[in-house]
Amino acid sequence: MLDVLIVGAGPVGLTAGCILAQQGHAVRVVRKHPPFTGHSRASVIWPRALEIMESIGVTESLRAMGSHVTRIGYYSSGTSIGRFELDRLDDTAFRFALGVSQHETEAVLEAALRAAGGTVDDAELLALEQDEGHVTARLRRDGADATVSARFLIGADGANSTVRALLGIATHDVGPRVSFRIADAVVDQLPEDEASYCWTPAGGMAIGPHDRGAFRLAHRIAPDDVHDTSVESFQRLLDERGPGGRAPVVRELISTADFQARFAIAERFRVGRCYLAGDSAHVMAPAGGQGMNSGMLDAAALSWRMLEALRNGAADSALAEYDAERQVVIRKIMATAVEHARDGGLRSDEDIAVRDQRYRAMWQNAAQHKDRVARLSQLTVDPARAAGASIPS
């Protein structure tokens, strides 16, 4: 029997798998589809998640391939309204964020998981049953069905989670639904150490460096927008909305994609011995890059509790608080992301003027400046970090 079966091989499932396997537990990770490398997807790892990556031992590998983001710039119609420096953080070894494509993060974590004795394979979850002692899952691999038993199951299988559906857990919207167009691009004349949010009355654009040489460009789209993913269209948007005084030039589009995002949270993160983490438990629009990072924090919080339960043999004592704790934490993170999305969507001159003054005031006030980067970095919302928790030995 496995100790833990993890459904989903994204950064969340692999983070949980690494923590558990590195402590000697039998872990299997299954994924419905092979790894996707079409575009960068989630492309920023904030300091708290980097601390977790450090505990796994993969930070140096990620740093070698990622862009070091030390500043978050906000622009209103091309004019700077705030440049928030991550070196204001004085209680972490990671005073930067890392811009790295999600598939690169997954590859590094998968290698670490395999090195620790865990397994990763392509299989689809069809059904699950559980009793007081274990979970039994029916999987389909290469056209053949088989059952596997585990003491615990983690559902980290994304926004359209099969685990969540099989457990009968509903989700509830807690914010707006928004549609985005994104591109991974080669762009000249943009700083490789700054993530920028550029807002105008006509719409905004987010710019984030990743993978040492590429940039993520993202902007909202309306249902009636023309589907134009040409170099010229992104160049025009940069000219109209980008940071002033830089004249960036789009040289190449590596990939483009449209998607709809929502802010939603599952009504609970646990049923019996089955747990949800990451997008299977909560989804949020990419404003502020909070989604994947919050899922990696879920993975660490859940895995550390599972280690205690596996060691002591008493699941409820260690795991009972996971659901309630993560509901509180995720709602705090979502509040930051929703605020970010709404700030970027303002259109009236009066609302924009109030927003711009608020950002300038935060920028110039030392305590508010630090609080802003700490919240985006997710350093102040993690109870495990506040308590000085570490991996049980």
**What is the tens place of the pLDDT at every residue in 37-70?**
566 677 899 999 999 999 999 999 999 999 999 9
Residue-wise pLDDT for 59-114, tens only, equals 999 999 999 999 999 999 999 999 999 999 999 999 999 999 999 999 999 999 99
- Assign domain 2-66+98-175+263-342 to its CATH superfamily: FAD/NAD(P)-binding domain (3.50.50.60)
- On whether the pTM is more than 0.85, the answer is yes
Residue-wise pLDDT for 166-207, tens only, equals 999 999 998 888 899 999 999 999 999 999 999 999 999 999
Residue-wise pLDDT for 328-359, tens only, equals 999 999 998 889 989 999 999 999 999 999 99
Orientation angle between helical segments 102-115 and 11-21, nearest 10 degrees: 20
Confidence class of residue 393 from pLDDT cuts 50, 70 and 90?
very low
**pLDDT for residue 222 is more than 60:** yes
Give 35's DSSP letter.
Answer: P
CA 228 from chain centre, in angstroms, equals 27
* CATH architecture for residues 178-258: 2-Layer Sandwich (3.30)
Q: How do the domains of the chain map onto residue ranges?
A: 2-66+98-175+263-342, 178-258
Which string of b and e fits 309-328 if b means at least 16 CB within 10 Å? bbeeeebeebbeebbebbbe
The average pLDDT across 224-241 equals: 93
**pLDDT for residue 318 is more than 80:** no
- Measure the CA–CA gap between 393 and 374, rounded to whole angstroms: 29
Share of the chain above pLDDT 70, in %: 96
At residue 322, what are phi and psi to the nearest 5 degrees?
-55, -50
Q: How high is the pLDDT of residue 57? A: 98
The number of residues making up the chain comes to: 393
Q: How high is the pLDDT of residue 36? A: 63
